[in-house]
Amino acid sequence: MVLLHVLFEHAAGYALFAVKEVEEIGMLLPQVEESVLSIGKFNSMVSLAAFFPFKSAQAALENMNAISEGVVHADLKLFLETNLPLSGKKKAVLGVSDAKIGAALQEEFTISIQTGGVVAEIGRGVRLHFHSLVKGLTGQAASKAQLGLGHSYSRAKVKFNVNRVDNMIIQSIALLDQLDKDINTFSMRVREWYGYHFPELIKIVSDNSMYCRLAQLIGNRKELSEESLESLEEVVMDHAKAQAILDASRSSMGMDISPIDLINIERFSDRVVSLAAYRLELQEYLRSKMSQVAPNLAALIGEVVGARLISHAGSLTNLAKYPASTVQILGAEKALFRALKTRGNTPKYGLIFHSTFIGRAAAKNKGRISRYLANKCTIASRIDCFSEVPTSVFGDKLRAQVEERLSFYETGEVPRKNVDVMKEAVKEATDVATEIKRKLEKKEKKRKKREKKLQELEENGDANSEAEVENGEADTPVVKKKKKKQAAEEMEVQAEENGAEETPGKKKKKRKAEEVQEEEAAVTDNGAEDTPAKKKKKKKTETVEAEPVEEIPETPVTEKKKKKKKKEAEN
């Protein structure tokens, strides 16, 4: 007698169901399939043997990751060891929905595993009536658990390739190809549209973006004159071409155009020009992204071809897993299968044909160089995928090797051995990596210091403001400004006090010089000397102003001298 147990993995936990009676022959009949839909009939076939709920969302995520990878988690192992009857008269059979996890369980336990057939139908019924079969679990709770686990599982999968964001490269190269097609189509539309008015311009200017800029600049051809020759020359970058456009505009066979039509053509050509400018920016972005994600592959084969390889493979990791023979014909799958079908010659190259090396090789050596280049591309992609610090050292060395191989095919000059080249590359790469790490550590230290200082300042500011609020001394903005001014004045006074103290002799000289200057100013003011009364007033004000600044007490000798000077001034 065979006893069948079915393992069901749910977001809420693991469940083990014992199948009471099942008819394998009649299982696929429509009547039997319909009986699975009713909970009453399904309960007579299946009963819940054990249920193991997950302790937390993190535990559920770990278990689901293990199942998706085909690994037996510790929780699942413990659950089956506890609840599955491994020994007894009846032979136990475990039904599993996924063959991958089934193989892993068969290795772990000495039991027979069944997948498909009856198990698939029972699994369908369990999935439908799960919340009814497990006590204490409602349909709403089950759906919430599934939604939460689904979101966390998706987030974990997306975060898997955070350091190597090759998704951006795939999207940007796809957009670049689309832009090329669109710009080409739109440029042809501008040519056809503006050609009604100025058909001769098509033969003179062959470049699409240049034609659109000229259509935007010229507008109505009848308005072209000698004055607009300079602006034409700026766009065309050729004096002879600009002159030819000017001459053609005078004897053009084109029809007249209304201002409204001209405005629409100008607007459309402006859009095409902006698209062409954006394409250049996107190419620059792709170049910078490739230097971050796959610098060695970019250095070896170029940014665009490298990006195409990554896009075609699906990711940098997938490209790194491919053998060199697959990389060689990547992008020429149709030709390969056609050759296999017709028993013809298989293709020698796929996407790597767009690299400069194959174009430079002779016809007889194209296959050999493509094979060698594919080999080097595989090495470069693997280094990029699994290296911690991205550097282009290996890419440059591999490129030099391909160059040497090309010259060997042409001249017969023996290239260097791969071992010697790789030893040099490893030395250089370690030096570059240590330098990059040192710089990153420096940056990190600076950032941490800056954050610490800001935190301390914020804490001090908060503490001061709290103290002021407690004491009821919270200042208004006006009071704060006054306080700042006072602090600045105090600083200036301190700076004067800290300076070297002046001797009495120096002070006398200073005063004399000041007095002489004042007398000269008084004489020159209004072209005549002031009266004695005015002088007295001036002196008084000067003494009043000077008194608060002088902190050192004056000697009796200096006071006498002052009185003498006052008397002389009065006389």
The string of DSSP letters for 459-518 reads HHHHHHHHHHHHHT-PPPHHHHHHHHHHHHHHHHHHHHHHSPPPPHHHHHHHHHHHHHHH
Q: How confident is the model at residue 540 (pLDDT cuts 50, 70, 90)?
A: very low
Question: Cα–Cα distances in Å, from 272 out to 32, 38, 220, 237?
Answer: 64, 63, 19, 20
What would the mean pLDDT of 221-239 be, rounded to a whole number? Answer: 88
pLDDT for the residue numbered 547? 43
pLDDT for the residue numbered 536? 47
pLDDT for the residue numbered 386? 85
User: What mean pLDDT is reported for the chain?
Assistant: 80
pLDDT for the residue numbered 537? 47
Q: How confident is the model at residue 143 (pLDDT cuts 50, 70, 90)?
A: confident
What would the mean pLDDT of 551-569 be, rounded to a whole number? Answer: 62
User: Over 80: is that where the pLDDT of 320 sits?
Assistant: yes
**Highest averaged pLDDT of the listed ranges 180-184, 232-236, 564-568:** 180-184
Q: How confident is the model at residue 135 (pLDDT cuts 50, 70, 90)?
A: confident
Q: How confident is the model at residue 512 (pLDDT cuts 50, 70, 90)?
A: low
- Spatial contact of 385 and 320, defined as CB atoms under 8 Å apart: yes
What would the mean pLDDT of 380-389 be, rounded to a whole number? Answer: 88
What would the mean pLDDT of 4-26 be, rounded to a whole number? Answer: 79
Q: How confident is the model at residue 305 (pLDDT cuts 50, 70, 90)?
A: very high
Lookup: tokens for 226 = 């000698």
Q: How confident is the model at residue 503 (pLDDT cuts 50, 70, 90)?
A: very low
Q: How many residues does the chain have?
A: 571
pLDDT for the residue numbered 382? 93
Instruction: Give pTM, 2 decimals.
Output: 0.56
44-102 pLDDT, tens digit per residue, is 788 888 898 898 888 898 888 888 888 888 888 888 888 887 766 667 788 888 888 88
Lookup: tokens for 128 = 């439908």
Cβ contacts of 300 within 8 Å, gap of 6 or more: 306, 376, 377, 380, 395, 398, 399, 402
Going by C-alpha positions, the residue among 201, 9, 158 that lies closest to residue 97 is: 9
Measure the CA angle with vertex 329, ends 326 and 335; round to 5°: 130
Please tell me which residue, 62 or 24, carries the higher pLDDT value. 62
* Burial call 67-103: b when 16+ CB within 10 Å, e when fewer: beeeebbebbeebbeebbeeeeeeebbbbbbeeebbe
Measure the CA angle with vertex 406, ends 405 and 407; round to 5°: 90
Which has the minimum average pLDDT: 37-41, 291-295, 486-490, 503-507? 503-507
User: Over 80: is that where the pLDDT of 483 sits?
Assistant: no
pLDDT for the residue numbered 543? 47
pLDDT for the residue numbered 501? 44
pLDDT for the residue numbered 516? 53
pLDDT for the residue numbered 69? 84
- The CA-to-CA distance between both ends of the chain, in Å, stands at 143
Residue 239: alpha-carbon gap to chain centroid:
44
pLDDT for the residue numbered 413? 86
- Percent residues over pLDDT 90 in the chain: 24
Task: Tell me whether residue 290 is exposed, middle or buried, using C-beta atoms within 10 angstroms of its C-beta: 0 to 12, 13 to 18, 19 or more.
Answer: buried
pLDDT for the residue numbered 91? 72
Q: How confident is the model at residue 185 (pLDDT cuts 50, 70, 90)?
A: very high
Please tell me which residue, 7 or 560, carries the higher pLDDT value. 7
Going by C-alpha positions, the residue among 169, 465, 431 that lies closest to residue 291 is: 169
